[in-house]
Structure 1
Amino acid sequence: MESHQVRYFVALAEALNFTRAAERCNVTQPSLTRAIKQLEDELGGPLFHRERNNTHLTELGRTMRPFLSQIFDNMQAAKTRARDMLQLKRASLEVGLMCTIGPTKLVDLIGSFRRRYPDVELRLRDGKGQMLQDALIAGELDVAVMGLPEGLDDRLSPIPLFSEDFMITFTPGHRFEAMEEVPAAELDGEPYISRANCEFADHANRIISSLGVNVRPLYRSEREDWVLAMILAGLGWGFTPECSVSLPGLEGRRLVQPNISRTIHVATVRGRPHSPAVGAFVREAVSWRSRGCPAGRVTETLVSADPVAAA
């Protein structure tokens, strides 16, 4: 059964006139008649009684009409849905955001994408970098904003967006406040509040420990609010990406000797066919990079997110 046969049948069932049905379908009458005959052969019997001025459905035609009409409606709905998707209407997009990237850094990107493509259903999923990478490769995400200390998987196609140094964070009054930068040697023996979700924390600990510096973890949590509360209470120092040092009362100094930094990318799967919405998001991310990756205001509700906890 061909799609044009279904379309011709629906038109003829409504018009009950071969000439008018052919005009409605923008085909010649012999073409329409031939297609209906082929459909009748496939279904095993006549669908229409052909009389000079009284074409009407046979019993088989009346039985088949709701089924073929439903097929026709589904075909039309599929074409409309495909057209809307290609025009970025009613499209959906699963975006992974690495949970250790400060929200103020990404909210301008998310907001500008939403304003430019308001009909795209944007679903945000936050998580650890490795989890996002696995989900992206598995097809559970369309695109991700992330970075890993060992670099991204070769199966991904990353575009760098921005780089940021890691800071040593503390409460005002800490001895680090008098320093312009904090050499790693100054961390020796100092109580450390560890961010469990930080992809670079273990990487940094290995580097610092190799220098003979004893980093003394006091507390480790997956909850960012608890980590910040402990630091603000003066119970220890934190290891925080530069763009996340934005909480009032939180002081930060750049870690040096060694300096540790990370690069954040927008990543898709290399060679995988992508929807127009994915291409639109990547283009918006590149545009955001060209504007200097400005931060936004987290107080403004910019998008309806469907976050998934990283734990």
Structure 2
Amino acid sequence: MNMYFTEVFDPADLNSSGTRSFNVVLDKQTIASDITPVFGNATEIRMTNLTASSGSNLYLTATSSSTLPPSIFGMELFVIGTTPLTNGSNTKDESGLASLQNRFPVLQEWSGDPCLPAAYPWDWVNCTTDATPRVIALLLKGYGLSGKLPDFSSLDAIQSIDMSNNNITGPIPNFLNSSTNLTYLNLANNNFTGLIPLWLYQKNNLKFNISGNQYLCNSTSCMPEYSPTTVGDAMGQWLAGVIGGVLSTLIAAAILYGVRQWKLSSKRNRPSGTDAGQPNEEEESATPQTLVQNGTNNNKLEDKMSKIITDKGVDRAVQTEIDHEFDVQPSTTTTT
């Protein structure tokens, strides 16, 4: 028990006989005697090892020499309660919370024990009421968190995490999978990227919400941390490549078909001789000039086909096949 006294009157204003002096009596037992407060100063009397009850009486009694009554300005009374004393929050939980505070400065406004006093924990945590309390929930919805999540796996008693409506980036951390007590995870409306972890679907007792994260994907072809513009450009280039390849194949097929039809038509329209192995009249009457002209026409047709192939970007193997179908040798000009 602490008691505080002071003298309110200046001794110069008091008569020579004016004095203040008293004793402190607890249940007829004097526990402090001849207390004389000093003007302008505080006098503290500390008393320990006292035994009292709800029926005890405390008195201030003037001494025989005092001309002024006793006065007191303050008292503190300490009692041992029935609630067991605690050693504070679990050190592993304190380490995990410190990781979050180091990464997100907005959380550094909170200090001291995160779970104690039990009636006044930090605003964004829930704790058990054990002698050594454990953090079981993180309540960080809309706290303005920005950046990647640090490793807070030391919070191994965590059951519920709500970090929705922030600007958290990076992949969903796999260390959350090691939280065996985790039953609720809300990461909605953030900017997480990358592949959605399979363990989210494999935990039967876990309820989770990852909606509103436009850069997450559930395919092995997922490419993390793309902006919408980059994703659109990449998709456009891919579609252009596919369409271009299909068109090139169709053009090549059409050219091959046309060449074969032209060759078959030429064979059907060619007149045959009267005897096997004998040239027909048209062939007998062919002059060197006619042969050169026919060769030139074939070369022109081949050149046109080659130009089409070059312009359309048809594969070299297809061009070789077309040349084989023509089976036309370049003409040779003979000077007579």
TM-score when normalising by structure 1: 0.21
| Structure possessing the higher radius of gyration over alpha carbons | 2
| Structure richer in helix, relative to its length | 1
Question: Which protein, 1 or 2, shows the higher relative CO under an 8 Å CA cutoff with sep ≥ 6?
Answer: 1
| Structure richer in strand, relative to its length | 1
